[in-house]
Structure 1
């Protein structure tokens, strides 16, 4: 690999941006395709599929064998609300290799006893999600689960502005309609707030906290692996 290619790849990694290294098996020629450049690339469909799967592998294009080395940032799940659903959701998400953070300013809920070994932030979302190093980006999913507008709304607004690949919120359709009105007053457009999955989770008839957690996690995986299904 040429030094300039490695330098460019490391820059994408450091910035938590996806990229694909395309290697021609016949002659070893390499080129780096960043996520921003995929749309204009002749291999765009293949590159998108590779990024969605997160897996490197061989493809054939124009009679040549190419190896696609996929660089995808580790996926984060930010859970807003240290509630019963979160207690079920966190270990399931961790078992899939997701890096999980739980945010809740209510220290009676956000306690190490209820969430052992979890990255737990007992702070208001607008404080927890701001700072010199971005917490949210396009490789983050955010699930807002408190039912409290003072906690959920700032987190949802931050996730929308950061372009998170998945944004979900607990609540009925009536609750969500009121939420949309508040977010509009906060300056978010209808096109932006249309990205919020609410009521959260795939419609599997979930009732209990563990069932709701399964529905939420399934929807997160769907948004990650099949982005064409995104609302």
Structure 2
């Protein structure tokens, strides 16, 4: 691989941007395709499927054999609220190889003692999100505080960034009021409809740990959805 291509791939990895290195197996020529450019590429259909699946492999195009090296950002979970559910959710999510970060401006909850092994930002979401890599479609956001002043800014940012999963704690009545607020904030019906609310799969969860299991299961299902469809 040429040094400039390697440098570009490393730069895109650091910025959490997906790329595919296209290599002609006959003559070794290579080019780099960024996800934002894939739609207009001659290999658009194959590239888009590979971005969804995250899998590298060989394809045939115009009589040529091409190897597609897929580089996508590692999935991550940003949890809004240093609550009991988060205490159970964070270690479980880490075990599934999700990068986890916790955001909560309430310093009585956001303490290293309660969250010893994950990045913890005791800031309001608007400020905290500027200190993390930008939200993207490889990020899940779970809003768990039940406080609109904390949850709503994170939900708005997540929906505008097209995060692959956006969930919020609360009853259907609570969510109805949330829909009204987000509509006033300028979000459209299709965007708001992407929020998983009440959050988590319906497994009859009662305790914070059980709710955490239901949330993590829903996050994983959302993460794998496109990849299952791409490999079907």
Shorter chain as denominator, the TM-score bin is 0.7 to 0.9
SS in 2 for 1:109: coil
Q: Distance in 2 between matches of 1:47 and 1:79?
A: 31
Give the corresponding residue for 2:71.
71
For structure 2, the residue ranges without an aligned partner over 5 or more in a row are none
Question: 1 CA distance for matches of 2:227 and 2:95?
Answer: 25
1:61, 1:217 → 2: CA distance? 39
* Residue 17 of structure 1: aligned partner: 17
Residue pair 1:58, 1:67 contacting (<8 A) in 2 also:
yes
1:64/1:209 CA distance change after superposition, 3 Å: farther
After TM superposition, the score normalised by the length of structure 2 is: 0.86
SS at match of 1:207: coil
* TM-score (normalizing by structure 1): 0.87
Q: Secondary structure at the match of 1:88?
A: helix
- Partner-residue secondary structure (3-state), 1:180: helix
Equivalent position of 2:199 in the other structure: 200
Aligned to 2:130, the other structure's residue is in SS state coil
Computed over aligned residues only, the root mean square deviation of the Cα atoms, in angstroms, reads 2.3
Name the CA distance, whole Å, in 1 between partners of 2:145 and 2:94: 20
Q: 1:117 to 1:14 in 2, by over 3 A?
A: closer
Tell me what 1:81 maps to.
Answer: 81
2: CA distance between counterparts of 1:30 and 1:223? 33
**Aligned mates of 2:205, 2:62 — CA distance in 1:** 48
* Residues 140-171 of structure 1 deviation map (CA, whole Å, 9 limit, x = unaligned): 21100111111111111121223322211111
| Alpha-carbon distance in 2 for matches of 1:3, 1:118 | 35
Distance in 2 (alpha carbons) for counterparts of 1:205 and 1:3: 54
C-alpha distance in 2 between matches for 1:129 and 1:111: 18
Unaligned runs of 5+ in 1: none
**Aligned ranges 1:1-231 → 2 under 5 Å:** 1-61=1-61, 64-130=64-130, 134-227=133-226
58-67 or 159-168, which deviates more: 58-67
Partner SS, residue 136 of structure 2: coil
Deviates more, 1:196-205 or 1:111-120: 196-205
Larger deviation, residues 69-78 vs 185-194: 185-194
Number of residues paired by the alignment? Answer: 228
Q: Compute the displacement of 1:35 (Å).
A: 0.5
SS of equivalent residue, structure 2 residue 196: coil
Could you tell me whether the CA contact under 8 Å between 2:53 and 2:227 is conserved in 1? no
